[in-house]
Amino acid sequence: MPEVDPPLAIVAELTHRCPLQCPYCSNPLELEPGRDELDTDTWRRVLDQAAGMGVLQVQFSGGEPLVRRDLEDLVGHAARAGLYTTLITSGVTLSDTRVDALVEAGIDHVLISFQDANADAGDYVAGYDGAHRIKCEAAARVRDRGLPLTINAVMHRQNLARMPEVIAQAVELGAGRLEIAHVQYYGWAMANRDALLPTREQLDEATAIVEAARERLRGQLVVDYVMPDYHAMLPRACMGGWARRFLSVTPSGKALPCQAAETIPSLSFPSVRTTSLDAIWRGSEAFNRYRGTGWMMEPCRSCDRREIDWGGCRCQAFALTGNPRVADPVCHLAPDHGALEPALRAARAVPPPLVYRRLGGTIVVPEDAAPLSVTPS
Ligand code: SF4
Ligand code: SF4
């Protein structure tokens, strides 16, 4: 098997179940049902294997990981194995009892995702009445216990005008870090792209606000900001490069180089039920298919940036062109750069209703799904 460095972190997607229905959820359109989830012992074995390989961090994610009653058990197991533990949660079920149990288990860091700074708009996008208020209460519980708190704010066409309020909210909640994450268009987000992709003008205005806030809040709040791909001229090094830094495990045990990798139908992914994490990472065909630079076509193959951005995102290349080997169409050098045009045109039109995420695969468009009055025009 090839010599490769171990992943920096594993993303343990404990479940696809979630009380919210965000229309940009990174989970696949075909959600995995609760009956297929890995049991506690199998997750413990996976965590031991990760620590044994030299992995440094585990991110407990989902869906909503708090849906699993064994979350504290798994956090405790990971902490005893020496892994740095992060809980990635919507916060809507993060009660006092659960926070105390997580602290007892040894959780290191909590990230709570917010849909907006405006409560009505946040609840509308989450598909859950009262979600915004409950999240604020959950953030306060985390800070009361002295735990490091990151706020993850997912930004898109329908909330980008409220960037100043989103930044102010993170300060008010006592977060040490704010991750401003523009929607990436795979899975549920791809189904809602025309309703969520901002215009260039909206984006430029929001970016200037973020840059000013970074200066103003230096030493108080770290602001992470990644530009949305469709408006960039060069792609991101997606996941730090295919199978270079992260390994995701789905609720049923499929191991993926990134959470969107299942959107590429020509790949089949090994299971942690039957194969060790180390064998998957170093030896599996799916992980090796786009690792490094050997798989690249022109213009990536001879480009100076090929070991900087690794040709961009394979899932995005597939989503926009049907071929996961080509240069990410975001790149201005990519022969398929024009594939972004229809989406950029749609960003200027009236947004269509949101398509909500729903376990069981049913796509639901609520009758009252017209954009909110707070939607920027
Ligand atoms: S993005 Fe929304 S629906 Fe998806 S897991 Fe997170 S909170 Fe749940
Ligand atoms: S040609 Fe390929 S390697 Fe070069 S910048 Fe574009 S995507 Fe990156």
Task: Convert the pLDDT of each residue in 123-182 to its tens digit.
Answer: 999 999 999 999 999 999 999 999 999 999 999 999 999 999 999 999 999 999 999 999
Between the alpha carbon of residue 26 and those of residues 116, 181, 184, the distances in Å are 17, 12, 8
Q: Assign residue 86 a region: left if phi > 0, alpha if psi is -120 to 50, beta otherwise?
A: beta
Q: Does the pLDDT of residue 47 top 50, yes or no?
A: yes
Token pair of 329, please? Answer: 């169409």
The kind and range of the H/E element at 168 are helix 163-172
Is any atom of ligand 1 closer than 6 Å to the C-beta of 111? no
Mutation to probe ligand 1, out of 25, 66, 156 (largest number of atoms < 8 A from CB)? 25
**Global pTM?**
0.92
Give the residue, by CA position, lying nearest to ligand 2 atom 1. Answer: 300
Number of the ligand closest to the Cα of 234: 2
Number of the ligand closest to the Cα of 63: 1
280-337: per-residue pLDDT in tens? 999 999 999 999 999 999 999 999 999 999 999 999 999 999 999 999 999 999 999 9
Mutation to probe ligand 1, out of 15, 22, 190 (largest number of atoms < 8 A from CB)? 22
Number of the ligand closest to the Cα of 311: 2
Is any atom of ligand 1 closer than 6 Å to the C-beta of 18? yes
Above pLDDT 70, what percent of the chain? 94
Number of the ligand closest to the Cα of 23: 1
Count of C-beta atoms within a 10 Å radius of residue 167: 24
Residues composing the chain: 377
Is any atom of ligand 1 closer than 6 Å to the C-beta of 63? yes
Nearest-CA neighbor of 11 among 70, 67, 73, 78? Answer: 78
Between the alpha carbon of residue 144 and those of residues 149, 178, 217, the distances in Å are 11, 18, 22
- Rounded to a whole number of angstroms, the distance between the first and last alpha carbons of the chain is 54
Is any atom of ligand 2 closer than 6 Å to the C-beta of 235? yes
Separation of CA 96 and ligand 2 centre (Å) = 48
Q: Cβ contacts of residue 278 below 8 Å, gap of 6+?
A: 49, 52, 53
Is any atom of ligand 1 closer than 6 Å to the C-beta of 65? no
170-203: per-residue pLDDT in tens? 999 999 999 999 998 888 898 899 999 999 999 9
Asked whether the beta carbons of 223 and 215 are under 8 A apart, the reply is no
Q: Cβ contacts of residue 211 below 8 Å, gap of 6+?
A: none
- What value does the mean pLDDT take over residues 32-36? 94
Is any atom of ligand 1 closer than 6 Å to the C-beta of 192? no
Give the residue, by CA position, lying nearest to ligand 1 atom 4. Answer: 25
Mutation to probe ligand 2, out of 296, 304, 306 (largest number of atoms < 8 A from CB)? 306
Mutation to probe ligand 1, out of 61, 64, 93 (largest number of atoms < 8 A from CB)? 64
Token pair 């790149």 in the structure block, residue: 331
Q: Assign residue 67 a region: left if phi > 0, alpha if psi is -120 to 50, beta otherwise?
A: alpha
- pLDDT at position 360 is 54
Residue 365: band (very low, low, confident or very high) from pLDDT cuts 50, 70, 90: very low
